[in-house]
Chains A and B, each alone.
Chain A
Amino acid sequence: MKKKILSVLLAVAMMGTMLAGCGNNENDGGNSGSGSSGTGSTAASSTPDSGAASSGGTGDSAGAEPVTLRWAIWDQETTQYWGDIKAAYEATHDNVTIEMVDLGSTDYMTVLATELSGQGSEFDVVTVKDVPGYATLVQKNAIIPLDDYIKADGVDLEQYAGATDQVVVDGKLYELPFRNDFWVLFYNKDLFDAANVPYPTNDMTFEQYDELARKMTDTTFGSQVYGAHYHTWRSAVQLFAVLDGQHTILDGSYEFMKPYYEMVLNQEADGVARKYSDLKTEGLHYSAAFSGGDVAMLNMGSWFIATMITNLKSGEYDSQLCGNWGIVKYPHAEGVEPGSTLGTITGLAVTSATDTPDAAWDFVKWVSGEEGAAVMASSGNFPAIMTEEVVNLITGLEGFPTDDASKEALNVSNLYLEVPYAPNVSEINSVLDSYHGSIMSGEMSIDDGIAAMNTEVSKILGQ
């Protein structure tokens, strides 16, 4: 009997200490909550100041309290612009210290969502890597809508060329893009010269592209040349289909993707492109494939431009193999304006847990504004605001292809986000990814795979 009582007592004591622990946490939360409202109001009173400061260009921060902003990023070591942004912002805002927290790129959004779950998150500004992750953060109420700030500071959303319209949630915008990558076609000029085939152009239909890829292909053992290369991402194949502007991946019926799957799978079968299942097994990275010098054309995002320039300069890529490269616009479907392409925006958002939302907003506004854009462009990256100046900065970089077609390729006529916002976009994404894998690896026929996508996505949309 006694033993039982004792064990019960022990258990109760333990629960007690634990609850006390929880209580403490809650108290902490409460404290920081009240603290945040306090600092919030002081920061609010200083907003006009900071607004004037940023419009004036120099920091009029005399008297402003020192603020530290914790900013979630990835791959600090290998990505130059994080540090550039921090340095440039701190130079004009004396009272602000930016503290970068590197969460790694592989599962950045998963780690970030976990960090922002529950209480006690310490981030003020977070980088939003993709739209499914954005949807998750919005649903978790981890980031705050920016509309009031946008209105108050008169930020012109027009300058983002419609990208922000595709991530509006119930009429509210929770992020501002600072980086906008779009897909172009990279090609290896040396291979085209050697085969005596004219370079791809900025105005190609998919039929012409397919023909060109086949013309470039050489299946002789030992001196293979692949006319095209498709990375294992779903975007690299499936999203050719949304460029006609009439379909999106949220449709729930995906028959329109069939011709593109057929084109790519036929190319694989004829040795024009490396096989998906081989790529999956090897884990071959697209950069390794293209820099290996046996790939004539590669469809990839504009982020690869900066990679090419840096790695050719550092000698990591052999300039004998891929040093002579160029870019052209994405191929387009019959009757569609050339220059329609896929885009991915990288945005900044203010967390709901921050103590200093106004300082955080000022940082977000600055980075996604023209000053931030200049910093981004100086290292060959594409800011969300594309001005004449930015284009000139990038095309003027040492190592950027010198031909006119490559410069012209940067003019985008229609930008479709790889993943536009929808409440269930994360689940839809998982379904599409899974069946993309099934179709590409030959586990399912194209028709079966598309039928499965239709049923599963309709189920999600019907919820």
Chain B
Amino acid sequence: MPKMDEAQKAIKINSLQEELTALIASVRTEKDVKKKRRLIAKIGDYNRKIDTLKSGRLLSRETKRDLVAYSFIAPNFIGFCVFTLIPIVFAFALAFMRWDGSNPIQWAGLRNFAGLWNDIFFKAALKNTIIYCIGTVPLTMIASLALAIVLNQKVMGRGIFRTLSFFPYVASLVAITAVWKMLFHPSKGPINNILYNVFHVSQESLPQWFTGSLVLLSMILFSVWKYMGYYMVIYLAGLQGISGELYEAASLDGANTWDKFRYITWPQLSSTTFFVVVMLTINCFKVYDIAIMLAGGGSGELTTSSTVLVYYIYQKAFIDWDLGYSSAVAMVLFLMVLVVTVIQFRGQAKRERA
């Protein structure tokens, strides 16, 4: 860059300064909020230009600072790009292609998506995933909130109970599904034995917990039991953030326990609840391990009554090697999670404004 002599520089600075003052004046008179914001941003640009000229440095202080910041982000971000972002973008593209992982990719247009509507296995997976979510999300939320409220009181052995209810979350999934399978074993399990011996359910009508229509119920119950401890901890943190004065004031006004919950605890926990529900929903849509472990049996194959979307994505991609089709299923899953999350964010934003 040719060096400007001082006189030229001064002239440039002056002209910039003039433009800047004109800008500031126009900002004062501007009514439209959007335009105003844009003008203010422009003022910043001018200030920076003048600074650069005055100091005579190649990079302004701000740019330098930004570069340092970017260099700190870079290692993580590059990893994220290579292993997450690019595959995701690629998956979006793949949904419109036909590819088996080796042969050349072919354009398929919307054929993958059209195929979904006639696919019994996809429809079964979609239905099961939705039922599982509808069952699991509210139940887990209610269970974990109730646990948190009870264990937030000063009860005897509170620590032990907290630990106990957190335990299923920490325990290995494989180990506890094995225990559940023994408990609910269709002919030898204690649960069915109690049903048979105490409630005199006939042998033929004993519930088959891991097949048919009951398998989803088993999955829901299992998942509530396993994950309520985790969300209980989050709720406990939320509960401890509520000021005791609020309850004191409510007691003075003669509020009963239900009123306190209804008018203090619940509204105060709204942001915690929001977080819990969003996380739960996303995790529920992604269910795979629980289905495989509870209903997959030795071979890990799921029938139409227990198949879930993520399993179907895996099956289509790595058993049948139809990567395009499986990406299309993944897109459906993505859209569902996206829609649910957007709706929840909207609802939360509205509540916060109100």
A joins B in a complex: yes
User: Which of the listed residues B63, B118, B318 has the most CB atoms from chain A within 10 Å of its own CB?
Assistant: B318
Is chain A's interface secondary structure helix, strand, loop, or mixed overall?
Answer: helix
With beta carbons under 8 angstroms apart, the residue of A1, A6, A434 that contacts B45 is A1
With A1-B45, A117-B102 already in contact, the answer to whether A433 and B301 are too (CB < 8 A) is yes
Q: Does B297 contact A (CB under 8 A)?
A: yes
With beta carbons under 8 angstroms apart, the residue of A6, A14, A443 that contacts B78 is A14
With A18-B82, A285-B298 already in contact, the answer to whether A277 and B208 are too (CB < 8 A) is yes
Q: Does A456 contact B (CB under 8 A)?
A: yes
Binary CB contact string for chain B from 179 to 192 against chain A (1 if under 8 A, 0 otherwise): 00100111110000
Per the bound structure, the CA–CA distance linking A140 and B318 in Å amounts to 12
With beta carbons under 8 angstroms apart, the residue of A117, A438, A442 that contacts B208 is A442
Binary CB contact string for chain B from 192 to 214 against chain A (1 if under 8 A, 0 otherwise): 00000000000000001111100
User: Which of the listed residues A18, A275, A282, A459 has the most CB atoms from chain B within 10 Å of its own CB?
Assistant: A282
With beta carbons under 8 angstroms apart, the residue of A1, A110, A275, A459 that contacts B319 is A110
Binary CB contact string for chain A from 276 to 313 against chain B (1 if under 8 A, 0 otherwise): 01111111110000000000000000000000000000
Residues of A within 8 A of B103 (CB): 139-141
Per the bound structure, the CA–CA distance linking A252 and B212 in Å amounts to 25
B70 touches A6 (CB 8 A): yes
With A14-B78, A281-B181, A281-B297 already in contact, the answer to whether A141 and B70 are too (CB < 8 A) is no
CB-CB contacts below 8 Å: A111-142 with B: 113-114, 116-118, 136, 139-142
B298 touches A443 (CB 8 A): no
Residues of B within 8 A of A141 (CB): 102-103
Considering only CB atoms, which chain B residue lies closest to A140 in the complex?
A: B102
CB-CB contacts below 8 Å: A128-173 with B: 136, 139-142
With A14-B78, A441-B208 already in contact, the answer to whether A275 and B303 are too (CB < 8 A) is no
Considering only CB atoms, which chain B residue lies closest to A456 in the complex?
A: B120
User: Which of the listed residues B62, B186, B303 has the most CB atoms from chain A within 10 Å of its own CB?
Assistant: B303
Chain B proximity of A165: nearest CB distance (Å): 25
Chain B proximity of A281: nearest CB distance (Å): 5
A280 touches B298 (CB 8 A): yes
Chain B proximity of A127: nearest CB distance (Å): 18
A278 touches B321 (CB 8 A): no
Chain A proximity of B205: nearest CB distance (Å): 12
Q: Does B81 contact A (CB under 8 A)?
A: yes
Considering only CB atoms, which chain B residue lies closest to A132 in the complex?
A: B319
Of the four ranges (under 10, 10 to 19, 20 to 34, 35 or more), the interface on chain A belongs to 35 or more
Per the bound structure, the CA–CA distance linking A147 and B120 in Å amounts to 40
Binary CB contact string for chain B from 300 to 333 against chain A (1 if under 8 A, 0 otherwise): 0111110100000001001111000000000000
With beta carbons under 8 angstroms apart, the residue of A10, A114, A438 that contacts B318 is A114
Chain B proximity of A380: nearest CB distance (Å): 25
Residues of B within 8 A of A139 (CB): 100, 103, 321
Chain B proximity of A455: nearest CB distance (Å): 8
Binary CB contact string for chain A from 215 to 228 against chain B (1 if under 8 A, 0 otherwise): 00000000000000
With beta carbons under 8 angstroms apart, the residue of A114, A232, A278 that contacts B298 is A232
Per the bound structure, the CA–CA distance linking A2 and B59 in Å amounts to 11
B102 touches A280 (CB 8 A): no
Considering only CB atoms, which chain A residue lies closest to B101 in the complex?
A: A117
A443 touches B303 (CB 8 A): yes
Q: Does B29 contact A (CB under 8 A)?
A: no
B298 touches A430 (CB 8 A): no
With A232-B299, A278-B188 already in contact, the answer to whether A434 and B121 are too (CB < 8 A) is yes
B185 touches A3 (CB 8 A): no
Q: Does B66 contact A (CB under 8 A)?
A: yes
Chain A proximity of B323: nearest CB distance (Å): 9
B211 touches A443 (CB 8 A): yes
Chain B proximity of A156: nearest CB distance (Å): 32
Binary CB contact string for chain A from 255 to 281 against chain B (1 if under 8 A, 0 otherwise): 000000000000000000001011111
With A14-B78, A456-B120 already in contact, the answer to whether A430 and B319 are too (CB < 8 A) is yes
Residues of A within 8 A of B181 (CB): 281-282
B211 touches A277 (CB 8 A): yes
Considering only CB atoms, which chain B residue lies closest to A434 in the complex?
A: B303
Considering only CB atoms, which chain A residue lies closest to B321 in the complex?
A: A136
Per the bound structure, the CA–CA distance linking A141 and B299 in Å amounts to 28
Residues of A within 8 A of B48 (CB): 2
Chain A proximity of B306: nearest CB distance (Å): 9
Residues of B within 8 A of A430 (CB): 315, 319-320
B303 touches A441 (CB 8 A): yes
B320 touches A278 (CB 8 A): no
With A277-B210, A426-B319, A434-B303 already in contact, the answer to whether A118 and B101 are too (CB < 8 A) is yes
Per the bound structure, the CA–CA distance linking A141 and B103 in Å amounts to 7
Residues of B within 8 A of A427 (CB): 320
B187 touches A275 (CB 8 A): yes
Considering only CB atoms, which chain A residue lies closest to B41 in the complex?
A: A1
Beyond A434-B302, A434-B307, list 18 extra A-B contacts (CB 8 Å).
A1-B45, A10-B70, A113-B321, A140-B321, A141-B102, A232-B298, A275-B187, A277-B210, A278-B186, A279-B297, A281-B185, A281-B209, A430-B320, A438-B305, A441-B211, A441-B212, A442-B211, A459-B118
A–B complex contacts, Cβ < 8 Å, 25 sampled: A2-B62, A2-B63, A14-B81, A113-B321, A114-B101, A117-B101, A118-B102, A140-B102, A141-B102, A141-B103, A142-B102, A232-B299, A278-B186, A281-B184, A281-B209, A281-B210, A281-B297, A282-B181, A426-B319, A427-B320, A430-B320, A433-B299, A435-B303, A442-B208, A459-B118
Binding site for A on B (CB under 8 A): 45, 48, 62-63, 66-67, 70, 74, 78, 81-82, 86, 100-103, 118, 120-121, 181, 184-188, 208-212, 297-299, 301-305, 307, 315, 318-321
